[in-house]
Amino acid sequence: MVFSAGIVEVAWVSGLKHASTFLEWSGTILAIVISFYLLIYTTKYLPIGTVYAVFTGLGTAGTVIAEIILFNEPINLVKILLILVLLIGVIGLKMVTDEGTNQEEA
* Residue-wise pLDDT tens digits, 82-91: 888 988 887 8
Distances (CA, A) of 51 to 10, 16, 46, 80: 16, 23, 7, 23
Question: What pLDDT sits at residue 27?
Answer: 93
Q: How far apart, in whole angstroms, are the C-alpha atoms of residue 33 and residue 38?
A: 9
Question: What pLDDT sits at residue 98?
Answer: 61
Label residue 93 by pLDDT band (50, 70, 90). confident
Q: What are phi and psi of 99, to 5 degrees?
A: -65, -20
- The pLDDT tens digits of the residues spanning 16-71 come to 888 899 999 999 999 999 999 999 999 998 888 888 888 888 888 888 888 889 88
The alpha helices in the chain, defined as continuous H runs, are: 2-18, 22-42, 48-71, 77-96
Question: What pLDDT sits at residue 99?
Answer: 54
Q: How far apart, in whole angstroms, are the C-alpha atoms of residue 12 and residue 7?
A: 9
Question: What pLDDT sits at residue 101?
Answer: 52
